[in-house]
Structure 1
Amino acid sequence: MKDQLSLLQTLSVETDSKIVMLVLDGIGGIPHPDTGLTELETAATPNLDALAAISICGMSDPVMPGITPGSAPGHLGLFGYDPLEYYIGRGVLEALGIDFELRDGDVAARGNFCTLDENGIIVDRRAGRISTGKSTALAEQLCGIDVEGVEVIVKAVKDHRIIVVFRGEGLTDKITDSDPQRVGFRPQTVERLAVDGSKMAEAANQFIEKALHVLKNHHPANGLVLRGFSQKPDLPGFSEIYKLKACAIASYPMYRGLAKVVGMDIIRTGQTVQDEIQSLVENYRKYNYFFVHYKPTDATGEDGKFERKVAMIEELDRVIPQIQALGPDVLVVTGDHSTPAVMKGHSWHSVPVMICGAFCRPDNVNSFNERACLYGGLGHLTASQIMPVAMANAMKLEKYGA
């Protein structure tokens, strides 16, 4: 994969053409047992379908067939990085997403407030998606927890999400998560994954134990789980590889953090899709690559709300003409992974993708959904292959070889 990035860096050229990559988080689904249709197949999407008719379409594996990706690997693939070679932990992404200044040696973890029953079993991994205001108040209480030899900093992110940053000498991210990522289980004890991980594992377990004591009377947020322990990574820069002036428009902090790690500028935006489109319009002349992230398709899928996910797809469909009106030379529409509402979580299923531009070779696909895109001209590719195809269609890659 390093060879691919090196090749792309060699072939990439600066041009005025513009690429918009619209990522519908968790867009892929599987058929509902009552209808035999996925969320995309159920939704009324006249604009996405019209775009598919003038695009080249296909299916993409975020990592590789059969592997269920997290959000970070899913997006790294879309940016052209091999997720098996380049890894960024969730904790770092959440921290950078809220502009927390990580120091060298810090270990950051993504935290979820959760609901525990009387036996300490997780019954809701998201504590009913409590408000950011409630999380902020609870995070302030947890900041007072004393852990021997380690400073612990807790900050609210959004809704039930927080970051927990461990700061001190001799810390490492080579430890396991406490989050089983399933209901019906107890939070797990953090274990070391390397010889030098004992201090970090002990600090994490000590913090969690004291945090549970603080939270015990704060139902539904009477529990806490941590995952994605990580330290700052060192990745080749997105703009240096592709010779692009790139920006990210995302309402959720984690995706801003991911874009920041690879070197994109972060455009502040509001919480709605219309806010994001307005941010795109306002900054369209300043950049030539735009990563636009749409979260509701993933959140509704994780909550198992099939009809709500359908409605969120239809909401997104309504803004497609506004993006097309800007006249991007290449418009990519895809997802970072599948989140079937039937499964209430991420899955290994491939994701539909379409690429529209003046130099694309349109196929016979006339609908943007999983079943239709199976027959598209792009065929079945990995997510890390999407960016080179987008660059080529934007006339941003020189010829390889004599």
Structure 2
Amino acid sequence: MPLVLTWLSTASFGKITLWPDAERACPLTEAQGPERDIGTLEPDTGRVALGQTPQLLGREDAVDITPLLQPGGKILLVVADGLGGMADAVHDTELEQADTPHLDRLAAEGVTGLATPVLPGITPGSGPGHLALFGYDPLQHELGRGVLSATGVEFDLRPGDVAARGNLATFDDDGNVADRRAGRIDDAKAEPLVARLDEGVRIDGVEVFFRHEASHRVLLVVRGEGLDPRVSDTDPEIEGRPPKAPEALDPAARHTAEVVAEVERQVRELLAGEPAHGLLLRGFDTLQHLPSFTDRYGLHAATVAIYPMYRGVAHLVGMDLLPRPDDLDGQVAAMADHWDDYDYFFLHHKYTDEAGHDGDRPRKVAEIERLDAAMPAIRDLAPDVLVVTGDHATPTQLHAHSWHPVPVLMWGPHVGRDHVDRFGERACLQGGLGQRPTREFMPLALAAAGRLRKYGA
């Protein structure tokens, strides 16, 4: 039986039917428009894989607020990747379990709420989660993970290139995925393997490029005539299953799917006998234009992210990339060094998400506490608005991203206060910011920084 979601708003009325069959598209029907495909419900994982969604739920992109923009204060966004969790009969969330005196103080002195990155019930990837944090509608601006990886490692992606994010992986004797991340292989071991692939994979009429991103993460780019990114992922996103065959999602992508299959075959040959001897691919895409962050918000912005993919998504919207620090202390120091040069800073902390994917509750708690320990130094920078949140939830019980809302705190002299005195999911449910789409927090931050004029007479 299909799962049917309905909505009623001033903009549209209709329904989404999610068929529990990965071969069937999820039709979207609106009273104001024709039926269209929006994606698939994956029966193995229960995740909805969104396809092309030009106007899901009748939504337009973010309202144009540029006429209201004015100079104002500094905004600092701190993102703990995968921060959100899930309480159950045994556990509080990891954030609730953590000892976070500094975050709790910020919550008590500011306002809190919960953020929904895409739509209720929809599990976001990291790209959509971050675009929403930057105030973009992730349903209007879809980016494949490959493009984010390419931008993050500063690969010169050309129009027509097809990029994909890859995982170095290990397979068992039956060809099933034994470890999707090859034991989180370290950089020193992974880099020579990726260099071997970049040198060794050869296909007539197609240029093939490999670049190491970090740990098990790899960028694949194919360049040639007639390539199309509409190819299905080969990563089953679950262990104990064989990799998926790349399939053309449109007749125009048949050649590309054949190229991807040949790339994966050659990878297995070149890495035979290595601890990481396979490749799982996802997020095929080509270079796209995104509206400029500066044009939208009048902000000169910079990122101090460490991981390439997050530097990539920031760079795609036009943020400057500060020199890549080695750790959290280095990130804070980099912001201090450039504090007078920018109006907006984006600090990204990856390791909460890694622990969530590994199902390692003590480590996720420890990473949250490590971020908390850095908050006094971050607060001492004296931003006019400080926002602390995550791009999505990664509960350790699920070992994966989830649809659960993400806690948000906003602190500064003009953000106001609520009655919440702890930073945690259930506390934030009572917060003054309410529960709202993630992209709506950007104009709230602008307003609290004095960057929006009054609307109307």
Q: TM-score per shorter chain, which class?
A: over 0.9
Aligned to 1:13: 70
Residue 385 of structure 1 is aligned with which of 425, 428, 440? Answer: 440
Query: Which amino acid is 1:192 matched to?
Result: A
Offset, 1:20: 0.2
Offset, 1:65: 0.5
Residue 52 of structure 1 is aligned with which of 98, 101, 107? Answer: 107
Partner of 1:7: helix, strand, or coil?
A: coil
Ranked by relative contact order (alpha carbons within 8 Å, sequence separation 6 or more), the top structure is 1
Gap regions ≥5 residues in structure 1: none
Q: What is the TM-score with the length of structure 1 in the denominator?
A: 0.97
Query: Which amino acid is 1:329 matched to?
Result: D
Q: Does 1:233 align with 2:295?
A: no
Residue 92 of structure 1 is aligned with which of 141, 147, 165? Answer: 147
Alignment partners' CA distance in 2, 1:400 and 1:251:
38
Aligned to 2:369: 314
Alignment partners' CA distance in 1, 2:395 and 2:113:
19
Q: Does 1:169 align with 2:225?
A: yes
Offset, 1:133: 2.1
The 5 Å alignment of 1:275-290 reads 275-290=330-345
Residue 29 of structure 1 is aligned with which of 82, 85, 96? Answer: 85
Alignment partners' CA distance in 2, 1:97 and 1:30:
30
Partner of 1:197: helix, strand, or coil?
A: helix
Give % identity: 46
Residue 264 of structure 2 is aligned with which of 193, 200, 208? Answer: 208
Deviations 1:97-121 (A, max 9, x none): 1111111111111110011000010
Query: Which amino acid is 1:386 matched to?
Result: F
Whether the aligned pair in 2 keeps the contact of 1:13 and 1:242 (CA below 8 Å) is no
The 5 Å alignment of 1:330-369 reads 330-369=385-424
Partner of 1:257: helix, strand, or coil?
A: helix
Partner of 1:384: helix, strand, or coil?
A: helix
Residue 195 of structure 2 is aligned with which of 140, 147, 155? Answer: 140
Offset, 1:3: 5.5
Whether the aligned pair in 2 keeps the contact of 1:247 and 1:265 (CA below 8 Å) is yes
Offset, 1:6: 4.9
Gap regions ≥5 residues in structure 2: 1-54
Alignment partners' CA distance in 2, 1:399 and 1:3:
23
Partner of 2:340: helix, strand, or coil?
A: coil
The 5 Å alignment of 1:60-79 reads 60-79=115-134
Deviations 1:348-379 (A, max 9, x none): 00000011121112100000000100000111
Offset, 1:9: 2.1
Partner of 2:356: helix, strand, or coil?
A: helix
Query: Which amino acid is 2:351 matched to?
Result: P
Q: Does 1:399 align with 2:454?
A: yes
Q: What is the TM-score with the length of structure 2 in the denominator?
A: 0.85
Whether the aligned pair in 1 keeps the contact of 2:264 and 2:279 (CA below 8 Å) is yes
Aligned to 2:250: 194
Partner of 1:396: helix, strand, or coil?
A: coil
Offset, 1:4: 5.4
Partner of 1:127: helix, strand, or coil?
A: coil
Structure 1 moving runs of 4+ over 2 Å: 1-6, 31-34
Whether the aligned pair in 2 keeps the contact of 1:108 and 1:231 (CA below 8 Å) is yes
Aligned to 2:6: none
Whether the aligned pair in 1 keeps the contact of 2:227 and 2:255 (CA below 8 Å) is yes
Alignment coverage as a number of residue pairs:
399
Alignment partners' CA distance in 2, 1:3 and 1:93:
24
